[in-house]
């Protein structure tokens, strides 16, 4: 039993570190670790992941708030629609076999890792912003519509695979709403806390959650997120993207393999 708690804390810490450094979801770490080492059903692992996302995201968001890098007002439409999408995604995931759901999660994590390896996130954002900075077809109505539709999709994915959607939210805030990168990261992490909360509550309603493991994972997530925020200030964005990419690919492959074996 003690070993389970240690694994939960370490998984939470790793998840919090990923969230604090690059704003990615706890699902990338917690879900594969709990499935592989503790044999936790995928649906329950996703619930723990989402709950850890809430705390880790709030801790990270507080750091950005202190530096004036959060603007929730412009992203409110996305936050609301993402919550709706998360509820729908959770409902559908409750009908997917555990092995199949683990496979979906693994593929999602694997693709995230490949994208980080191919091109760092901040470079991808800057390239697209430069390409479309003078586009006359982009107006406020289209921005609002896009943020709502993308919010639904992001929320759905959050509820389905247990990812808070931080990276996806970041992309929409920068490419659609034209946030500066620092403000986009802070705002996306805060929005992710709400989407993850919606998904976590929905998961708790559909299946029992091991509250003891959840508590240890959440504590680890809070500590990891706080430590990562400090570490990130001394490491380049490109290096962080490479490190995260390698970690995601390994974790995704591990989850897919476990799903095939089981």
pLDDT digit string, tens, across residues 128-148: 656 656 555 555 666 677 778
Domain count, the chain: 1
Tell me the residue range of the domain where 68 lies. 2-261
pTM for this prediction: 0.71
DSSP state letter for 13: H
What is the average pLDDT value for the chain, to the nearest integer?
A: 75
- Burial class of residue 188 (count of CB atoms within 10 Å of its CB; 0-12, 13-18, 19+): buried
List Cβ<8 Å contacts ≥24 apart for 166-169: 166/19, 166/23, 166/24, 166/25, 166/57, 166/192, 167/22, 167/23, 167/24, 167/25, 167/112, 167/121, 169/75, 169/78, 169/82, 169/195
Whether the predicted pLDDT of 4 surpasses 60: yes
pLDDT value of position 21: 75
pLDDT digit string, tens, across residues 101-116: 556 666 666 676 676 6
pLDDT digit string, tens, across residues 70-99: 877 766 777 788 888 878 887 887 776 655
Segment 25-34 shows an average pLDDT of 79
- Burial class of residue 233 (count of CB atoms within 10 Å of its CB; 0-12, 13-18, 19+): exposed
121 or 187: whose pLDDT is higher? 187
């Amino acid at each position: 039993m003690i070993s389970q708690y240690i694994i939960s804390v370490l998984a939470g810490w790793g998840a919090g570190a990923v969230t604090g450094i690059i704003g990615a979801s706890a699902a990338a770490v917690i879900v594969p670790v709990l499935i592989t080492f503790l044999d936790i059903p995928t649906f329950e692992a996703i619930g723990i992941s989402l709950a850890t996302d809430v705390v880790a995201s709030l801790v990270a968001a507080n750091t950005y708030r202190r530096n004036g890098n959060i603007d929730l007002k412009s992203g409110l439409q996305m936050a609301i629609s993402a919550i709706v999408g998360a509820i729908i995604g959770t409902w559908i995931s409750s009908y997917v076999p555990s092995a199949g759901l683990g496979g979906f999660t693994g593929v999602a994590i694997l693709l995230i890792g490949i994208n980080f390896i191919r091109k760092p996130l901040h470079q991808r954002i800057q390239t697209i912003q430069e390409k479309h900075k003078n586009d006359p077809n982009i107006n406020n109505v289209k921005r609002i519509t896009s943020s709502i539709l993308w919010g639904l999709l992001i929320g759905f994915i959050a509820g389905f695979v247990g990812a808070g959607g931080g990276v996806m939210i970041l992309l929409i805030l920068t490419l659609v709403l034209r946030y500066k990168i620092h403000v986009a990261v802070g705002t996306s992490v805060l929005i992710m806390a709400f989407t993850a909360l919606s998904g976590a509550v929905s998961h708790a309603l559909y299946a029992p959650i091991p509250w003891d493991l959840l508590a240890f994972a959440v504590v680890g997530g809070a500590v990891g997120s706080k430590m990562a925020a400090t570490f990130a200030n001394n490491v380049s964005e490109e290096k962080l993207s490479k490190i995260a990419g390698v970690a995601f690919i390994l974790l995704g492959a591990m989850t897919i393999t476990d799903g095939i074996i089981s």
